[in-house]
Structure 1
Amino acid sequence: MNTLLKESAKLIKESNFTFAFTGAGISVESGIPPFRGEHGLWNKYNPQVLDLGYFLNNSAHCWTYIREIFYDFFADAKPNDAHRILAQMERNKLLNAVVTQNIDNLHYEAGSETVYEFHGNSKKLKCLKCGQVYDARDIDFENIPPKCVNDKDVLKPDFIFFGEGIPHDAYADSFAAAEKAEVCIIVGSTGEVTPASYVPRTAKQAGATIIEINPEETIFTSAITDIHLKGKATDVLNQLGELLF
Protein backbone atom coordinates (compact mmCIF):
# COMPACT_ATOMS: atom_id res chain seq x y z
CA MET A 1 0.00 0.00 0.00
CA ASN A 2 2.79 2.43 0.90
CA THR A 3 4.47 1.84 -2.46
CA LEU A 4 1.19 2.38 -4.28
CA LEU A 5 0.58 5.60 -2.33
CA LYS A 6 4.03 6.91 -3.26
CA GLU A 7 3.50 5.96 -6.90
CA SER A 8 0.11 7.71 -6.88
CA ALA A 9 1.55 10.86 -5.31
CA LYS A 10 4.30 10.96 -7.93
CA LEU A 11 1.81 10.59 -10.77
CA ILE A 12 -0.38 13.37 -9.38
CA LYS A 13 2.56 15.74 -8.89
CA GLU A 14 3.75 15.16 -12.45
CA SER A 15 0.30 15.38 -14.05
CA ASN A 16 -0.68 18.45 -16.04
CA PHE A 17 -4.39 17.78 -15.55
CA THR A 18 -5.93 15.69 -12.79
CA PHE A 19 -9.57 15.36 -11.81
CA ALA A 20 -11.41 13.42 -9.13
CA PHE A 21 -14.53 11.41 -9.85
CA THR A 22 -16.53 10.93 -6.68
CA GLY A 23 -19.53 8.83 -5.71
CA ALA A 24 -21.60 7.98 -2.65
CA GLY A 25 -18.67 6.32 -0.88
CA ILE A 26 -16.93 9.63 -0.20
CA SER A 27 -19.95 10.96 1.71
CA VAL A 28 -20.79 7.83 3.72
CA GLU A 29 -18.32 8.98 6.38
CA SER A 30 -20.29 12.24 6.63
CA GLY A 31 -23.36 10.23 7.59
CA ILE A 32 -25.01 10.13 4.18
CA PRO A 33 -25.98 6.57 3.16
CA PRO A 34 -25.79 5.46 -0.47
CA PHE A 35 -28.97 4.93 -2.45
CA ARG A 36 -28.07 1.42 -3.51
CA GLY A 37 -26.63 -1.60 -1.72
CA GLU A 38 -27.31 -3.38 1.55
CA HIS A 39 -27.79 -0.21 3.59
CA GLY A 40 -29.03 1.93 0.71
CA LEU A 41 -31.94 4.32 0.92
CA TRP A 42 -33.93 2.38 -1.67
CA ASN A 43 -34.22 -0.45 0.84
CA LYS A 44 -36.21 1.92 3.02
CA TYR A 45 -37.92 4.25 0.54
CA ASN A 46 -39.72 3.71 -2.74
CA PRO A 47 -37.62 5.23 -5.54
CA GLN A 48 -40.88 6.19 -7.25
CA VAL A 49 -40.92 9.38 -5.14
CA LEU A 50 -38.01 10.58 -7.31
CA ASP A 51 -39.62 9.67 -10.61
CA LEU A 52 -40.34 12.89 -12.50
CA GLY A 53 -43.67 11.79 -13.93
CA TYR A 54 -44.89 10.51 -10.58
CA PHE A 55 -43.67 13.66 -8.84
CA LEU A 56 -45.53 15.96 -11.22
CA ASN A 57 -48.79 14.18 -10.47
CA ASN A 58 -48.21 13.48 -6.77
CA SER A 59 -45.97 16.30 -5.59
CA ALA A 60 -47.42 16.59 -2.06
CA HIS A 61 -46.97 12.85 -1.43
CA CYS A 62 -43.43 12.86 -2.87
CA TRP A 63 -42.43 15.92 -0.86
CA THR A 64 -43.23 14.14 2.39
CA TYR A 65 -40.41 11.70 1.68
CA ILE A 66 -38.14 14.19 -0.11
CA ARG A 67 -38.22 16.43 2.96
CA GLU A 68 -37.44 13.52 5.26
CA ILE A 69 -34.56 12.18 3.18
CA PHE A 70 -32.85 15.32 1.93
CA TYR A 71 -33.84 18.15 4.23
CA ASP A 72 -34.30 16.48 7.63
CA PHE A 73 -32.02 13.47 7.51
CA PHE A 74 -29.13 15.00 5.51
CA ALA A 75 -29.39 18.55 6.83
CA ASP A 76 -26.56 18.30 9.36
CA ALA A 77 -24.07 16.42 7.18
CA LYS A 78 -20.65 18.09 7.05
CA PRO A 79 -17.63 17.58 4.78
CA ASN A 80 -15.16 14.97 5.96
CA ASP A 81 -11.39 14.73 5.54
CA ALA A 82 -11.73 13.19 2.09
CA HIS A 83 -13.66 16.22 0.82
CA ARG A 84 -11.17 18.55 2.51
CA ILE A 85 -8.09 16.85 1.05
CA LEU A 86 -9.50 17.16 -2.47
CA ALA A 87 -10.18 20.85 -1.84
CA GLN A 88 -6.62 21.29 -0.57
CA MET A 89 -5.29 19.53 -3.67
CA GLU A 90 -7.14 22.06 -5.81
CA ARG A 91 -5.72 24.98 -3.82
CA ASN A 92 -2.24 23.49 -4.25
CA LYS A 93 -2.73 23.18 -8.02
CA LEU A 94 -2.67 19.37 -7.84
CA LEU A 95 -6.30 18.91 -8.84
CA ASN A 96 -8.08 20.69 -11.68
CA ALA A 97 -11.67 19.62 -11.07
CA VAL A 98 -14.06 17.35 -9.21
CA VAL A 99 -16.74 15.49 -11.13
CA THR A 100 -19.26 14.23 -8.61
CA GLN A 101 -22.28 11.97 -8.75
CA ASN A 102 -23.30 13.28 -5.32
CA ILE A 103 -25.96 15.92 -4.76
CA ASP A 104 -25.00 16.82 -1.18
CA ASN A 105 -22.98 20.01 -1.86
CA LEU A 106 -20.19 18.76 0.44
CA HIS A 107 -17.39 19.39 -2.07
CA TYR A 108 -18.32 23.07 -2.20
CA GLU A 109 -18.68 23.23 1.57
CA ALA A 110 -15.19 21.74 1.91
CA GLY A 111 -13.75 24.50 -0.26
CA SER A 112 -13.57 22.97 -3.74
CA GLU A 113 -14.31 25.55 -6.43
CA THR A 114 -14.34 23.65 -9.72
CA VAL A 115 -17.06 21.06 -9.18
CA TYR A 116 -19.13 19.51 -11.95
CA GLU A 117 -22.30 18.17 -10.34
CA PHE A 118 -23.35 15.42 -12.71
CA HIS A 119 -26.66 14.80 -10.94
CA GLY A 120 -27.40 18.30 -9.64
CA ASN A 121 -27.55 19.69 -6.11
CA SER A 122 -30.10 19.11 -3.34
CA LYS A 123 -29.28 22.46 -1.72
CA LYS A 124 -31.13 24.24 -4.53
CA LEU A 125 -34.78 24.07 -5.54
CA LYS A 126 -36.20 25.10 -8.88
CA CYS A 127 -39.56 26.13 -10.25
CA LEU A 128 -40.23 23.99 -13.30
CA LYS A 129 -42.58 26.65 -14.67
CA CYS A 130 -40.57 29.89 -14.51
CA GLY A 131 -37.08 28.54 -13.76
CA GLN A 132 -36.58 30.52 -10.55
CA VAL A 133 -33.90 28.90 -8.37
CA TYR A 134 -34.09 28.96 -4.57
CA ASP A 135 -31.56 28.23 -1.85
CA ALA A 136 -32.87 25.39 0.30
CA ARG A 137 -31.88 27.36 3.41
CA ASP A 138 -34.56 29.92 2.52
CA ILE A 139 -37.35 27.36 2.26
CA ASP A 140 -39.83 26.65 5.05
CA PHE A 141 -40.09 22.87 4.91
CA GLU A 142 -42.85 22.88 7.50
CA ASN A 143 -45.16 23.79 4.63
CA ILE A 144 -44.96 21.26 1.84
CA PRO A 145 -44.94 21.11 -1.04
CA PRO A 146 -42.90 24.34 -1.24
CA LYS A 147 -44.10 26.69 -3.95
CA CYS A 148 -42.65 29.40 -6.16
CA VAL A 149 -43.36 32.96 -5.00
CA ASN A 150 -43.79 34.05 -8.62
CA ASP A 151 -46.41 31.64 -9.94
CA LYS A 152 -47.24 29.38 -6.96
CA ASP A 153 -46.04 26.33 -8.88
CA VAL A 154 -44.53 23.46 -6.88
CA LEU A 155 -40.76 23.59 -6.45
CA LYS A 156 -38.60 20.60 -7.32
CA PRO A 157 -35.16 19.84 -5.83
CA ASP A 158 -32.56 20.80 -8.42
CA PHE A 159 -31.12 17.34 -8.81
CA ILE A 160 -31.83 14.68 -11.39
CA PHE A 161 -34.98 12.62 -10.96
CA PHE A 162 -35.62 9.37 -12.78
CA GLY A 163 -36.82 10.37 -16.23
CA GLU A 164 -34.65 13.49 -16.47
CA GLY A 165 -31.53 14.11 -18.50
CA ILE A 166 -28.12 15.11 -17.15
CA PRO A 167 -27.63 18.92 -16.97
CA HIS A 168 -25.99 19.99 -20.22
CA ASP A 169 -23.14 22.03 -18.75
CA ALA A 170 -22.22 19.43 -16.13
CA TYR A 171 -22.24 16.71 -18.77
CA ALA A 172 -20.11 18.68 -21.22
CA ASP A 173 -17.63 19.89 -18.60
CA SER A 174 -17.22 16.41 -17.09
CA PHE A 175 -16.40 14.74 -20.38
CA ALA A 176 -14.16 17.63 -21.44
CA ALA A 177 -12.16 17.08 -18.25
CA ALA A 178 -11.98 13.35 -18.94
CA GLU A 179 -10.70 13.93 -22.48
CA LYS A 180 -7.70 15.99 -21.33
CA ALA A 181 -6.89 14.28 -18.04
CA GLU A 182 -3.56 12.65 -17.37
CA VAL A 183 -4.75 11.28 -14.03
CA CYS A 184 -8.28 10.44 -12.85
CA ILE A 185 -8.83 9.68 -9.16
CA ILE A 186 -11.98 7.64 -8.52
CA VAL A 187 -13.22 8.02 -4.95
CA GLY A 188 -16.18 6.10 -3.58
CA SER A 189 -17.87 5.21 -6.85
CA THR A 190 -18.67 1.63 -7.79
CA GLY A 191 -19.29 2.33 -11.47
CA GLU A 192 -22.88 1.07 -11.44
CA VAL A 193 -24.61 4.29 -12.48
CA THR A 194 -24.61 5.36 -16.13
CA PRO A 195 -23.92 7.63 -17.90
CA ALA A 196 -21.80 8.99 -15.03
CA SER A 197 -19.57 5.90 -15.01
CA TYR A 198 -18.59 6.64 -18.60
CA VAL A 199 -16.61 9.69 -17.40
CA PRO A 200 -13.61 7.79 -15.94
CA ARG A 201 -13.87 5.26 -18.75
CA THR A 202 -13.52 8.12 -21.23
CA ALA A 203 -10.47 9.35 -19.31
CA LYS A 204 -8.92 5.89 -19.53
CA GLN A 205 -9.58 5.71 -23.27
CA ALA A 206 -7.95 9.12 -23.67
CA GLY A 207 -4.79 7.84 -21.98
CA ALA A 208 -5.24 8.84 -18.33
CA THR A 209 -3.90 6.79 -15.44
CA ILE A 210 -6.77 5.70 -13.19
CA ILE A 211 -6.23 5.72 -9.43
CA GLU A 212 -9.13 4.14 -7.57
CA ILE A 213 -9.85 4.71 -3.86
CA ASN A 214 -12.45 2.23 -2.64
CA PRO A 215 -12.62 -0.24 0.25
CA GLU A 216 -13.50 -3.12 -2.07
CA GLU A 217 -13.14 -3.96 -5.74
CA THR A 218 -15.73 -2.42 -8.04
CA ILE A 219 -16.82 -2.57 -11.66
CA PHE A 220 -13.99 -0.12 -12.37
CA THR A 221 -11.25 -2.16 -10.72
CA SER A 222 -10.73 -4.87 -13.30
CA ALA A 223 -11.93 -2.79 -16.23
CA ILE A 224 -9.95 0.46 -16.10
CA THR A 225 -8.12 0.90 -12.77
CA ASP A 226 -4.32 1.12 -12.83
CA ILE A 227 -3.77 1.61 -9.09
CA HIS A 228 -6.27 0.48 -6.46
CA LEU A 229 -5.72 2.17 -3.10
CA LYS A 230 -7.87 -0.06 -0.95
CA GLY A 231 -9.48 1.58 2.07
CA LYS A 232 -11.91 4.19 3.30
CA ALA A 233 -11.82 7.51 1.48
CA THR A 234 -10.77 9.52 4.53
CA ASP A 235 -7.97 7.13 5.49
CA VAL A 236 -6.48 6.86 2.02
CA LEU A 237 -6.75 10.54 1.13
CA ASN A 238 -5.22 11.58 4.44
CA GLN A 239 -2.25 9.33 3.72
CA LEU A 240 -2.04 10.60 0.18
CA GLY A 241 -2.26 14.19 1.42
CA GLU A 242 0.78 13.65 3.66
CA LEU A 243 2.81 12.76 0.57
CA LEU A 244 1.41 15.62 -1.53
CA PHE A 245 1.53 18.61 0.81
Structure 2
Amino acid sequence: MIHKEVAQIISISKNMVVLTGAGCSVESGVPDFRSPSGWWNQIDPRTVATVKALETNYPLFHSFYTTRVNHLRKILPHAGHAILARWEQVGHIKLITTQNVDGLHQAAGSSHVQELHGSIKEFRCHSCRKATDEEAFVNERPCQCGGKLRPSIVLFGENLPNDAWQRSMAAIESADVVMVIGTSLQVHPVNQLPFITKGKLILINAEETGQEDRFDFFLRGKAAETLLLIQHYMEK
Protein backbone atom coordinates (compact mmCIF):
# COMPACT_ATOMS: atom_id res chain seq x y z
CA MET A 1 0.00 0.00 0.00
CA ILE A 2 1.33 3.41 -0.98
CA HIS A 3 0.74 4.94 2.48
CA LYS A 4 2.88 2.23 4.05
CA GLU A 5 5.71 2.81 1.56
CA VAL A 6 5.60 6.56 2.22
CA ALA A 7 5.64 5.89 5.97
CA GLN A 8 8.80 3.81 5.57
CA ILE A 9 10.50 6.61 3.62
CA ILE A 10 9.60 9.25 6.21
CA SER A 11 10.65 7.04 9.13
CA ILE A 12 14.25 7.02 7.90
CA SER A 13 14.33 10.64 6.71
CA LYS A 14 16.52 13.09 8.59
CA ASN A 15 16.23 15.99 6.18
CA MET A 16 12.63 16.32 5.00
CA VAL A 17 11.06 19.57 3.81
CA VAL A 18 7.28 20.01 3.75
CA LEU A 19 5.62 22.56 1.44
CA THR A 20 2.02 23.36 2.36
CA GLY A 21 -0.76 25.25 0.64
CA ALA A 22 -4.33 26.26 1.43
CA GLY A 23 -5.60 22.67 1.29
CA CYS A 24 -3.53 21.86 4.37
CA SER A 25 -5.72 24.18 6.49
CA VAL A 26 -9.15 23.27 5.12
CA GLU A 27 -9.86 20.62 7.77
CA SER A 28 -9.32 23.26 10.44
CA GLY A 29 -12.13 25.29 8.87
CA VAL A 30 -10.07 27.72 6.79
CA PRO A 31 -11.57 28.19 3.30
CA ASP A 32 -9.16 27.47 0.47
CA PHE A 33 -8.93 29.69 -2.59
CA ARG A 34 -9.74 27.80 -5.77
CA SER A 35 -12.38 25.22 -4.84
CA PRO A 36 -16.08 25.95 -5.49
CA SER A 37 -16.42 27.22 -1.91
CA GLY A 38 -13.03 28.96 -1.82
CA TRP A 39 -12.30 32.64 -1.21
CA TRP A 40 -11.66 33.46 -4.87
CA ASN A 41 -15.06 32.14 -5.94
CA GLN A 42 -16.64 34.64 -3.59
CA ILE A 43 -14.58 37.65 -4.66
CA ASP A 44 -12.19 38.38 -7.50
CA PRO A 45 -8.66 38.58 -6.00
CA ARG A 46 -7.74 41.23 -8.57
CA THR A 47 -10.23 43.57 -6.88
CA VAL A 48 -9.09 43.12 -3.29
CA ALA A 49 -5.79 41.27 -2.70
CA THR A 50 -3.68 43.90 -4.41
CA VAL A 51 -1.64 46.97 -3.57
CA LYS A 52 -3.96 48.97 -5.83
CA ALA A 53 -7.00 47.97 -3.75
CA LEU A 54 -5.19 48.87 -0.55
CA GLU A 55 -4.27 52.29 -1.90
CA THR A 56 -7.42 53.19 -3.84
CA ASN A 57 -10.25 51.17 -2.26
CA TYR A 58 -9.20 50.72 1.35
CA PRO A 59 -12.75 50.09 2.68
CA LEU A 60 -13.05 46.99 0.43
CA PHE A 61 -9.52 45.85 1.26
CA HIS A 62 -10.06 46.37 4.98
CA SER A 63 -13.45 44.65 5.00
CA PHE A 64 -12.13 41.54 3.24
CA TYR A 65 -9.09 41.10 5.46
CA THR A 66 -10.96 41.95 8.66
CA THR A 67 -13.38 39.15 7.78
CA ARG A 68 -10.45 36.75 7.38
CA VAL A 69 -8.79 37.92 10.61
CA ASN A 70 -12.01 37.52 12.60
CA HIS A 71 -12.66 34.09 11.07
CA LEU A 72 -9.21 32.83 12.04
CA ARG A 73 -9.69 33.72 15.71
CA LYS A 74 -11.75 30.56 16.22
CA ILE A 75 -9.58 28.28 14.06
CA LEU A 76 -7.32 25.66 15.64
CA PRO A 77 -4.69 23.34 14.13
CA HIS A 78 -5.92 19.89 13.11
CA ALA A 79 -4.36 16.48 13.73
CA GLY A 80 -2.25 16.75 10.58
CA HIS A 81 -0.57 19.92 11.82
CA ALA A 82 0.20 18.12 15.08
CA ILE A 83 1.76 15.17 13.22
CA LEU A 84 4.03 17.49 11.25
CA ALA A 85 5.12 19.14 14.49
CA ARG A 86 5.87 15.70 15.97
CA TRP A 87 7.92 14.70 12.92
CA GLU A 88 9.97 17.85 13.39
CA GLN A 89 10.51 17.09 17.08
CA VAL A 90 11.77 13.55 16.40
CA GLY A 91 14.13 14.74 13.66
CA HIS A 92 12.40 13.83 10.40
CA ILE A 93 11.41 17.34 9.26
CA LYS A 94 14.04 20.03 8.80
CA LEU A 95 11.72 22.75 7.55
CA ILE A 96 8.10 23.55 6.76
CA THR A 97 7.74 26.17 4.05
CA THR A 98 4.19 27.36 3.59
CA GLN A 99 2.04 29.46 1.30
CA ASN A 100 -0.43 29.79 4.16
CA VAL A 101 -0.63 32.94 6.25
CA ASP A 102 -2.72 31.51 9.10
CA GLY A 103 0.05 30.52 11.54
CA LEU A 104 -1.44 27.07 12.19
CA HIS A 105 1.88 25.24 11.85
CA GLN A 106 3.40 27.36 14.62
CA ALA A 107 0.25 27.02 16.74
CA ALA A 108 0.59 23.22 16.47
CA GLY A 109 4.17 23.36 17.73
CA SER A 110 6.33 23.48 14.60
CA SER A 111 9.38 25.68 15.17
CA HIS A 112 11.11 25.69 11.80
CA VAL A 113 8.58 27.41 9.52
CA GLN A 114 9.16 29.77 6.62
CA GLU A 115 6.12 31.78 5.49
CA LEU A 116 6.43 32.46 1.77
CA HIS A 117 3.33 34.66 1.63
CA GLY A 118 3.75 36.40 4.97
CA SER A 119 1.47 36.25 8.01
CA ILE A 120 -2.05 37.48 8.64
CA LYS A 121 -1.21 37.34 12.35
CA GLU A 122 1.16 40.31 11.98
CA PHE A 123 0.37 43.86 10.89
CA ARG A 124 2.23 46.93 9.72
CA CYS A 125 1.83 50.33 8.14
CA HIS A 126 1.83 50.21 4.35
CA SER A 127 3.69 53.53 4.16
CA CYS A 128 6.38 53.49 6.86
CA ARG A 129 6.32 49.69 7.54
CA LYS A 130 6.14 50.23 11.32
CA ALA A 131 4.72 47.17 13.10
CA THR A 132 1.30 47.45 14.71
CA ASP A 133 -1.27 45.04 16.17
CA GLU A 134 -4.47 43.31 15.17
CA GLU A 135 -6.72 45.61 17.21
CA ALA A 136 -5.41 48.71 15.47
CA PHE A 137 -5.97 47.16 12.04
CA VAL A 138 -9.46 45.81 12.77
CA ASN A 139 -10.54 49.16 14.21
CA GLU A 140 -9.19 50.89 11.11
CA ARG A 141 -6.85 53.23 12.94
CA PRO A 142 -4.31 55.03 10.79
CA CYS A 143 -0.61 54.82 11.55
CA GLN A 144 1.01 57.75 13.35
CA CYS A 145 2.52 58.67 10.00
CA GLY A 146 -0.97 58.76 8.47
CA GLY A 147 -0.46 55.57 6.46
CA LYS A 148 -2.93 52.73 6.07
CA LEU A 149 -2.55 49.60 8.20
CA ARG A 150 -2.43 46.15 6.60
CA PRO A 151 -1.67 42.52 7.41
CA SER A 152 1.96 41.53 6.76
CA ILE A 153 1.02 39.31 3.84
CA VAL A 154 2.22 39.26 0.24
CA LEU A 155 -0.34 40.91 -2.00
CA PHE A 156 -0.60 40.23 -5.73
CA GLY A 157 2.21 42.06 -7.46
CA GLU A 158 4.48 42.17 -4.41
CA ASN A 159 7.72 40.22 -4.11
CA LEU A 160 7.98 37.19 -1.86
CA PRO A 161 10.07 37.74 1.30
CA ASN A 162 13.63 37.11 0.16
CA ASP A 163 14.86 35.51 3.37
CA ALA A 164 12.03 32.98 3.49
CA TRP A 165 12.51 32.21 -0.21
CA GLN A 166 16.27 31.69 0.06
CA ARG A 167 16.00 29.53 3.19
CA SER A 168 13.30 27.41 1.55
CA MET A 169 15.30 26.94 -1.63
CA ALA A 170 18.43 25.92 0.26
CA ALA A 171 16.53 23.44 2.42
CA ILE A 172 14.74 21.85 -0.54
CA GLU A 173 17.93 21.57 -2.59
CA SER A 174 19.55 19.50 0.18
CA ALA A 175 16.43 17.58 1.28
CA ASP A 176 16.19 13.79 1.14
CA VAL A 177 12.37 14.00 0.97
CA VAL A 178 10.07 16.83 -0.12
CA MET A 179 6.40 16.45 0.79
CA VAL A 180 3.87 18.80 -0.83
CA ILE A 181 0.51 19.08 0.94
CA GLY A 182 -2.68 20.82 -0.15
CA THR A 183 -1.59 22.99 -3.05
CA SER A 184 -2.74 23.08 -6.67
CA LEU A 185 0.81 24.01 -7.74
CA GLN A 186 -0.56 26.89 -9.83
CA VAL A 187 1.11 29.85 -8.12
CA HIS A 188 4.45 30.92 -9.56
CA PRO A 189 7.24 30.81 -8.43
CA VAL A 190 6.39 28.61 -5.43
CA ASN A 191 5.14 25.84 -7.74
CA GLN A 192 8.71 25.38 -8.97
CA LEU A 193 10.20 24.79 -5.53
CA PRO A 194 9.51 21.03 -5.17
CA PHE A 195 11.34 20.20 -8.35
CA ILE A 196 14.75 21.57 -7.37
CA THR A 197 15.29 18.64 -5.00
CA LYS A 198 17.13 15.42 -5.72
CA GLY A 199 15.21 13.68 -2.93
CA LYS A 200 11.98 11.71 -3.04
CA LEU A 201 8.89 13.74 -3.97
CA ILE A 202 5.53 13.10 -2.27
CA LEU A 203 2.27 14.88 -3.11
CA ILE A 204 -0.79 14.86 -0.85
CA ASN A 205 -3.79 16.66 -2.30
CA ALA A 206 -7.56 16.26 -2.38
CA GLU A 207 -7.63 16.65 -6.16
CA GLU A 208 -5.27 15.92 -9.03
CA THR A 209 -3.06 18.85 -10.01
CA GLY A 210 -1.95 17.68 -13.44
CA GLN A 211 1.61 17.30 -12.18
CA GLU A 212 1.29 13.92 -10.48
CA ASP A 213 3.71 12.33 -12.93
CA ARG A 214 6.50 14.56 -11.59
CA PHE A 215 6.19 13.01 -8.12
CA ASP A 216 7.40 9.66 -6.84
CA PHE A 217 4.19 9.24 -4.81
CA PHE A 218 0.73 10.80 -5.09
CA LEU A 219 -1.66 10.27 -2.18
CA ARG A 220 -5.10 11.60 -3.05
CA GLY A 221 -6.91 12.72 0.06
CA LYS A 222 -7.34 15.40 2.68
CA ALA A 223 -4.27 16.50 4.61
CA ALA A 224 -5.17 15.41 8.14
CA GLU A 225 -6.69 12.04 7.27
CA THR A 226 -3.76 11.17 4.98
CA LEU A 227 -1.11 12.18 7.52
CA LEU A 228 -2.94 10.20 10.22
CA LEU A 229 -2.83 7.11 8.01
CA ILE A 230 0.88 7.57 7.33
CA GLN A 231 1.52 8.01 11.05
CA HIS A 232 -0.45 4.83 11.71
CA TYR A 233 1.93 2.83 9.51
CA MET A 234 4.96 4.51 11.07
CA GLU A 235 3.83 3.28 14.50
CA LYS A 236 3.24 -0.34 13.42
> TM class by shorter-chain length?
over 0.9
Check conservation: 2:14, 2:91, Cα contact below 8 A.
no
Is contact 1:53–1:163 with CA below 8 Å preserved after alignment?
A: no
Question: What CA distance in whole angstroms lies between the structure 1 residues aligned with 2:59 and 2:196?
Answer: 40
2:177 is the alignment partner of 1:183: yes
Map of 2:118 onto structure 1: 120
Alignment of 1:92-241 (within 5 A): 92-136=90-134, 138-139=135-136, 141=138, 143-144=139-140, 146-148=141-143, 150-203=144-197, 207-222=198-213, 224-241=214-231
Secondary structure, counterpart of 1:241 in structure 2: helix
User: Is contact 2:17-2:96 (8 Å) kept?
Assistant: yes
- Matched residue count: 234
TM-score, L = length of structure 1: 0.89
Asked whether the 8 Å contact 2:137–2:149 carries over to 1, the reply is no
What amino acid does structure 2 have at the position aligned with 1:166? L
Q: Secondary structure at the match of 2:190?
A: coil
Three-state SS of the structure 2 residue aligned to 1:197 is helix
Q: Which of 24, 27, 34 is residue 26 of structure 1 equivalent to?
A: 24
Deviations 1:112-131 (A, max 9, x none): 11111111110111113332
Structure 2 equivalent of residue 65 of structure 1: 64
Greater Cα shift, 178-187 or 125-134: 125-134
**Unaligned segments of structure 2, at least 5 residues:** none
Q: Identify the residue that residue 54 of structure 2 maps to in structure 1.
A: 55
Which range is displaced more, 104-113 or 54-63? Answer: 54-63
1:86-136 C-alpha deviation (Å, 9 max, x unpaired): 011001111111011111110110111111111111011111333222342
Cα distance between partner residues in 2 of 1:123 and 1:241: 29
> What CA distance in whole angstroms lies between the structure 2 residues aligned with 1:105 and 1:134?
17
Cα RMSD after superposing both structures = 1.6
Q: Percent identity?
A: 33
Given that 1:190 and 1:220 are in contact with CA atoms closer than 8 Å, whether structure 2 keeps it comes out as no
Letter in 1 for 2:36: E
Q: CA deviation at 1:234?
A: 1.0
TM-score (norm 2): 0.93
User: What letter corresponds to residue 209 of structure 1 in structure 2?
Assistant: K
Residue identity opposite 2:207 in structure 1: E
CA distance in 2, matches of 1:60, 1:25: 28
